Structure 1
Amino acid sequence: MPASTDKDLWVSWEVYHRSIEQLALKVHESGWKFDQVLCLARGGLRPGDIFSRIFDVPLAILSTSSYREESGTVQGALDIGKYISMTKGALQGRVLVVDDLVDSGVTLEKVLVHLRENFPAVSEVKSAVIWFKACSSVAPDYYLDHLPNNPWIHQPFEEYDSIRPHQLNAWLKKGAA
């Protein structure tokens, strides 16, 4: 794995999972209790799943997307899913919105507005992210790392962005070597 710099933060699977656990501990130690986790897909799926399991609360998923160009390195127009996916009931009560990072802040800001306008049964919302970039227009309630230099974060799952099904056989052999 390359060395991290002011421009690039390289994250291994081990560091990524440990960071989610440390963020969960921060939320726990704050004493704030929440009824549901709402993860922002795709980046918030893994943190949301882990939070849902650790805190033993239902997981809801809201699809959002703005990084689709240039293999996910160029921000485009923000799309927010019309519906929230969950196994039963509706989004309500105290909700913790979980994502991997807050970059420009546009996604988090618009999701918070979306929740206020469309989910009147939600009584309180707080947010938690692993990485909070200084360039963000909004600060999350909880974060693990503040990044004053706004580096590009190379997350371990991004390796799948360049793999296609027909390449899996060679990919699996490479990992077995």
Structure 2
Amino acid sequence: MSLPEKAFPVSWDQFHRDARALAWRLAGINVEWKAIVCITRGGLVPAAVISRELGVRLIETVCIASYHDYTEQGELKVLKEITPSLLENEGAGVLIVDDLTDTGKTAAIVRAMMPKAHFAAIYAKPKGRPMIDTFVTEVSQDTWIYFPWDMGFTYQKPISEDHRG
């Protein structure tokens, strides 16, 4: 599989605004979250922003390795499980946070662990959308999101140059 044709670079400022927008949507649900479970590594930054905005102090991680390189999603491995107390009542009252749901495979693993938890991601692609409850922005399946922690400052070609035939 080659890299997708469409690039969607996200700056720190944009990511912070999008994480706050997700927090606004979650605040509107009117649930008192007992904990946030973030999917590492991508869910760490939005979980920090959302925990601040919603006043949730208990943050847990579930560690799943999925992208073994930046072109293909490899085999999924659970590296760290969720604290058993949060799994009680199938995760009811728990907010699961990730940066992106792409194919939905990672989300499906965590959803199986906590079927009653509320799943939120900043960005969603069509294949992963059915696995989550709340998101901010949807991008096409063939778009690669470049997160701020993955980038340095480099020249970007104009979009029109990518479409010349």
TM-score exceeds 0.5: yes
Q: Which residue of 2 aligns with 1:28?
A: 27
Percent sequence identity is 30
Of the three residues 64, 81, 84, the one matched with 1:83 is 81
SS at structure 2 position matched to 1:138: helix
Of 125, 137, 144, the residue aligned with 1:145 is 137
Which is worse superposed, 9-18 or 48-57?
A: 48-57
Superposed CA offset, 1:48-102 (max 9, x none): 1222222222101111111022xx33210111134336xxx83154111000010
Residue 63 (1) aligns with residue 63 (2): yes
| Partner Cα distance (1:31, 1:111) in 2 | 23
Out of 149, 153, 159, the residue aligned to residue 157 of structure 1 is 149
**Offset of residue 6 of structure 1:** 7.0
SS of equivalent residue, structure 2 residue 85: coil
Which residue in the other structure is 2:117 paired with?
125
2:96 counterpart residue number = 97
CA offset digits 1:132-171 (Å, max 9, x no partner): 10132734110001123541000110138xxxxxxxxxxx
- CA distance, structure 1, for counterparts of residue 26 and residue 85 of structure 2: 23
Alpha-carbon distance in 2 for matches of 1:47, 1:140: 15
Counterpart of 2:16 in 1: which secondary structure?
helix
Alignment deviations for residues 8-51 of structure 1 (CA, whole Å, 9 cap, x no partner) = 11111100111100110011112233211000000000111222
**Aligned residue pairs: how many?**
144
DSSP-derived class of the 2:130 partner: coil
When the two chains are superposed, the root-mean-square deviation of aligned CA atoms in Å is 2.2
Q: 1:33 to 1:17 in 2, by over 3 A?
A: same
Runs of at least 5 residues in structure 1 that lack an aligned partner in the other structure: 117-123, 161-177
TM-score normalised by structure 1 residue count:
0.73
Where in structure 2 are there 5+ consecutive unaligned residues? 153-165
